[in-house]
Chains A and B, each alone.
Chain A
Amino acid sequence: MKKLSYLVAGILVMLMLAACSSDSSANSEEDSGSSGENATSDTVETGAVETSVEATGDEDVMLDFWIHQTGEDETNAYIELIDAFNKEHDDIHVNAEVIIDDGASAYSDSINAALVAGNLPDVMAVDGPYVSSFAEAGVIQPIDDYVDEETKSQYVDSIIQQGTYNDKLYSLGAMEASVMLYYNKDLLDEAGIEPADSIEEAWTWDELMENSKKLTNEDRYGLNLFMNYGVGEWLTFMGAPLAWSNGGALISEDGTKVDGYLNSPETIEALNYVKELFAEGVVTDSPGEMQFEEGNAALALGGPWIAVSAEDAGLNWGMMPYPFKDEKVSPSGSMAYAVTNNTENPEAAVELMKWMTNEEATVKISKATGMPPAQKSAFDNMEKFNELPWSVMKEQVLETAHARPATPAYPVLTDAFAQSFHAAALGEDVESVVEQQVQRVERELKRFEE
């Protein structure tokens, strides 16, 4: 018995060590996989990193600044920008804290905890569509007093749209995001299909359906919708433009009513189009992590990070604009910065936000992440956006980008849409699923009625 327990203890220790090492490697893989924003970095540092620069002169204002971490290159770019800010400003000192964003709830859990404990930082990174709920709850404050119209006009419209709630500006972002229709050049050539090189030529829903069918055979799928990201924000981000393009909506313009919007005939029709794509067998609900990159899908509706991973995989790829039905719209929105109500120095805080999102910063962060910049002028400074295939992404961000709805009930609304999208993919009856979700969101919306 004693011998046995020694043995068990020994095995335990050994396996724990083994488990720890496999733990960290698997986790970092998962990090870069699920966030998807930095497919190039193999190792993702975990844990909080503190950056601080030696005090220079009078430190009148101390600012605490929370930034999210999805990839190493991106974080390094932020830290360099913050260091430069501290050097430039004698009277402001920024303490940055880097918090892991695993694509799920790790970052928002940190915010929630700090919120309840009452120790939010002065400035924090928030995901675009969540701005309105923070604004409604008075967690973040409007910054119109410190941002003039000229400064505002330098940002791409969708970033201002995403940061505005009840006609007040709350957030500024450094990067945009988009979803492109990526294609495998070799497979399209083989099938004799012409790609669209500009928004003018964008494919219609019918063309997407038809070409996906042509490109599907025994060995591969015609289209990849990255269902492996799970039932979450991705489905709303990628899928909502289908509804908008068809004249549908997720919620009323003022963000207070879903009945008649989420279940409008136009939105239902868009979800039925999704259902048809799956029913035709041109797309799978469980693609492998690298289905498009490995040539197992000819087309893919993916984020900017797919360009990076396709390039790394040595794929002969290109990108097309987001397909449309009536109106040409495309996904938009990314992490942005907002000033919390916890700050005593909103002016200095906004100064920091402007610094983190100025032309130089957006170029730097775009280079580190592959995401499109949020400043209009940055596009002109970056060579790659003036030629194919990146020119298509630039066009899309400047012309068709559509922010996700601004409503305090966003967390429930996005889940409701994602669940409906997923149900459609599984071939369920769209109308009845959507109807259930409408009731759920309506209940949540009551909370915010006056």
Chain B
Amino acid sequence: MPALPPHLAMISLEFFLQQCLIGVTNGALIALVAMGYSMVYGIIGLINFAHGDLIMLGACLALSLVGASGLVDAGPTATWWGVVLLLLACGLFCGTLNMAVDRFIYKPLRNASKLAPLVSAIGVSFIFMNVGLFWLGPADRSFPELVPPTNLFSGDTLQFTYQDLLVVVVVVLLMVALSVLVRSTRLGRAMRAVSQDPTAAALVGVDVDRVIAATFFIGGALGGAASVIYSLYIKTIGFQMGFQNGLYAFTAAVLGGIGSIPGAVVGGLVIGLVRSLASAYVGERWTGAIVFAILIVILVFRPEGLLGRRTREKV
């Protein structure tokens, strides 16, 4: 088949599939961040504005660790193990940091009006951003290419590299682990109980504060993993990266139905796809407007989000 002339190239099926692949990979990353918003919202009804910046700090740590460990010059096997260790280290770091923020800032405000923790979260976001500014400096930093950008498909028509694969594999594994945790463990059952009725949960013997702390840890740890994947995939990090990425992920969480973990996944994939298709077919500068226009339309018709709950309960 002869190659299409450039002005027609974008109507080819390969081009469309390629955009979808990019969209799914980006969407998976957005979904991972969105889960952190959704979990915290589900359990205490707080929109954790600092979540995006928490991920930025995870990326700072990842960059420092890579620099200190000399992972760049290691062989392929050592590099893969290095990536696993990075995921663990940044997961632990972000999880612990998120839990500490809850313990010292949100927990004392648990019985205050909803606005007090919300404003505090915005404050934490700015504090994190300033820490990131000190850590990284004002300019964007490039992240070393640890995972090779080798194409997994033969030929040039479709590109899906080891880097894309890493994103999809890690996100799918974490999602499965999270849904098993929430569905079928003692902690997961306690989390669902606390999110539905904290007082009733306390009255059956659930330590509500501990469950909330665990939720912050898990949501933060997912964010830590996201920070490593983001750094390896996007390869540019900066102290302001948390804001925009956080906004898209939060949008994904609302779109899918905030509080719902499958909803966060669906919302992330939808936003990833819309973003890549819009920037390919309409133009990069329109993507933000298109993503949010679609969000508004969906929310007008389904205010509870795509997978949000709309069950009628008898009182």
Whether A and B are associated in the same complex: the answer reads: no
Q: Which B positions have Cβ atoms within 8 angstroms of A?
A: none
